[in-house]
């Protein structure tokens, strides 16, 4: 197999960060998100300030209160986390179709096909982190490597808000010195068994024969033997092939000025064109959506004979759709532009500027 370039992205203290974003009073504070302390609530997650007190995910809330009595305790708002999750997944999919979400706040991306001499995988990872921050005001950490196991290991190495690359120069040092519990798939029970057999670090694991590991850990022995060597051939399993690319914006105040809305539609058309360009697709339908100040949603679509992908073509159609759709009496709070019915673009002249 030719060498792959894999990115693993994971949001930092995800639920807590969303809460801190939405309530500036929590900034810099020990914030703990979880169920009620009475009953059997557990901690969902804690800000890095709260982690200093020893608070962590899955800990009983009562224990968290003991460790961190002055913490700021917040009950989860799952709709907010889902919303942020959808935003980041859409960003990932604007770079590559090969996205494997692991949970609301993380995913693997295979970006092998996007990498060029002037565009290394680490640069792409920085673009993605920048897009996430711009669109959600949340930070993420990224790991870049040549397989999933190492990419995920890397993303966790310098949290929060960091990028870490594992390549052939540093992989040996990192794996040999890694605590055995730091290997993906080694949970508390396996860790105990490892310790009982004198395996504390990656080096100890590396020194065991494959036979010995199979004797100790059965079917998993082979995988552990490979992991100690930084080998992981498992592919990034994407869930779906994307059918459309779109962007929408909510206005700060409800908007009834066509010039301003059309300016926004031009911006959205440009963004959509950039995304199409990145995934080398063009599309045969354009949809404009608006949401009124009363939260009613309307959309209108046009199908085209020939696929389009540049911002002027998208804008010209979006302009007409908007003009048909908009009631001059009714202010709107949101506008969106989507290009659908995608097919592989014949344009091959992608440039670095498609990413900026």
Contact 114, 96 (CB under 8 A): yes
Closest CA to 318 of 278, 261, 274: 261
Count of Cβ atoms closer than 10 Å to residue 250 Cβ = 12
Nearer to ligand DCP, 47 or 272 (CB): 47
Catalytic residue among 106, 274, 320, 343: 106
Q: What is the CA angle 296-336-241, rounded to 5?
A: 115
Near ligand DCP in 138-197, by CB under 6 A: 159-160
Residue whose CB is less far from Mg ion, 105 or 232: 105
Rounded to whole angstroms, the Cα distance separating 286 from 339 reads 5
The rounded distance, in Å, linking the Cα atoms of 235 and 148 is 8
Residues 1, 2, 39, 58: which binds ligand DCP (CB under 6 A)?
58
Write the Ramachandran bin of 13: left for phi over 0, alpha for psi from -120 to 50, otherwise beta.
Answer: left
CB of 209 to ligand DCP, least distance (A): 33
Selected from 105, 232, 311, 313, the binder of ligand DCP by CB under 6 A is: 105
User: Which span sits near ligand DCP by CB under 6 A: 60-68, 103-111, 186-194, 298-306?
Assistant: 103-111
Among 44, 94, 96, 277, binds ligand DCP (CB under 6 A): 44
- Residue closer to ligand DCP by CB (options 152, 264) is 152
State yes or no: 313 annotated in a binding site: no
- Which one of residues 11, 64, 124, 317 is an interface residue with ligand DCP (CB under 6 A)? 11
Does 123 contact ligand DCP by CB under 6 A? no
329 belongs to the catalytic site: no
How many residues interact with ligand DCP (rule CB under 6 A)? 15
What's the rounded Cα separation, in Å, for the pair 293 and 180? 55
The whole-angstrom separation of Cα 340 and Cα 348 is: 20
**Smallest distance, ligand DCP to C-beta of residue 55, A:** 11
How far, in Å, are 149, 267, 294, 322 from residue 337 at the CA level? 37, 10, 20, 10
By CB under 6 A, residue 49 contacts ligand DCP: no
- What lies within 8 Å, CB to CB, of 196 at 6+ separation is none
Q: Which is nearer to ligand DCP, 42 or 216 (CB)?
A: 42
What residues line the site for Mg ion (CB under 5 A)? 10-11, 14, 105-106
Helix (H, G, I), strand (E, B) or coil at 224: helix
Q: Under 8 Å CB-to-CB from 336, ≥6 apart: which residues? A: 246, 247, 248, 249, 268, 287, 288, 289, 290, 299
Judge residue 16's burial from the number of C-beta atoms within 10 Å of its C-beta, 0-12 exposed, 13-18 middle, 19 or more buried.
Answer: buried
Binding partner of 232, given Mg ion, ligand DCP, none, CB within 5-8 angstroms per partner class: none
Would the annotation count 105 as a binding residue?
A: yes
Q: Which stretch binds ligand DCP (CB under 6 A): 4-12, 115-123, 326-334, 341-349?
A: 4-12
Interface with ligand DCP by CB under 6 A: which residues?
A: 10-15, 44-45, 57-58, 103, 105-106, 159-160
Residues contributing to the annotated binding site: 10, 105
Residues contributing to the annotated binding site for Mg(2+): 10, 105
Active-site positions read: 106
């Amino acid at each position: 197999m030719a060498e792959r370039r894999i990115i693993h992205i994971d949001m930092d203290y995800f639920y807590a960060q969303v809460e801190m974003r939405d309530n500036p009073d929590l900034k810099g504070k020990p914030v703990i998100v979880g169920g009620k302390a009475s009953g059997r609530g557990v901690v969902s997650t804690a800000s890095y300030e709260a982690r200093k007190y020893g608070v962590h995910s899955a800990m009983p809330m009562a224990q968290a209160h003991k460790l961190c009595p002055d913490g700021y305790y917040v009950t989860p708002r799952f709709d907010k986390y889902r919303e942020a999750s959808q935003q980041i997944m859409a960003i990932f999919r604007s770079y590559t179709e090969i996205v494997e979400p692991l949970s609301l706040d993380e995913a693997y991306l295979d970006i092998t096909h996007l990498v060029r001499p002037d565009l290394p995988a680490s640069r792409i990872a920085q673009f993605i982190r920048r897009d996430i921050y711009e669109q959600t005001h949340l930070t993420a950490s990224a790991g870049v490597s040549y397989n999933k196991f190492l990419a995920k290991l890397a993303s966790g190495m310098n949290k929060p808000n960091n990028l870490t690359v594992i390549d052939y120069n540093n992989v040996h040092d990192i794996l040999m010195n890694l605590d055995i519990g730091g290997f993906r798939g080694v949970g508390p029970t396996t860790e105990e068994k490892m310790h009982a057999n004198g395996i504390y670090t990656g080096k100890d694991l590396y020194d065991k024969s494959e036979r010995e590991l199979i004797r100790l850990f059965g079917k998993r022995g082979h995988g552990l033997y490979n992991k100690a060597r930084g080998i992981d051939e498992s592919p990034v399993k994407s869930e779906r092939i994307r059918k459309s690319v779109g962007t929408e914006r909510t206005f700060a105040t409800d908007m009834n000025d066509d010039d301003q809305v059309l300016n926004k539609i031009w911006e959205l058309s440009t963004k959509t064109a950039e995304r199409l360009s990145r995934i080398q697709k063009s599309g045969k339908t354009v949809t404009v959506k608006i949401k009124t100040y009363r939260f009613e949603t309307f959309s209108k679509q046009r199908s085209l004979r020939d696929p389009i992908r540049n911002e002027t073509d998208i804008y010209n159609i979006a302009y007409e759709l908007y003009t048909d759709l908009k009631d001059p009496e009714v202010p709107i709070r949101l506008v969106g532009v989507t290009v659908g019915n995608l097919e592989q673009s014949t344009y091959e002249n992608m440039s670095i500027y498609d990413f900026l």
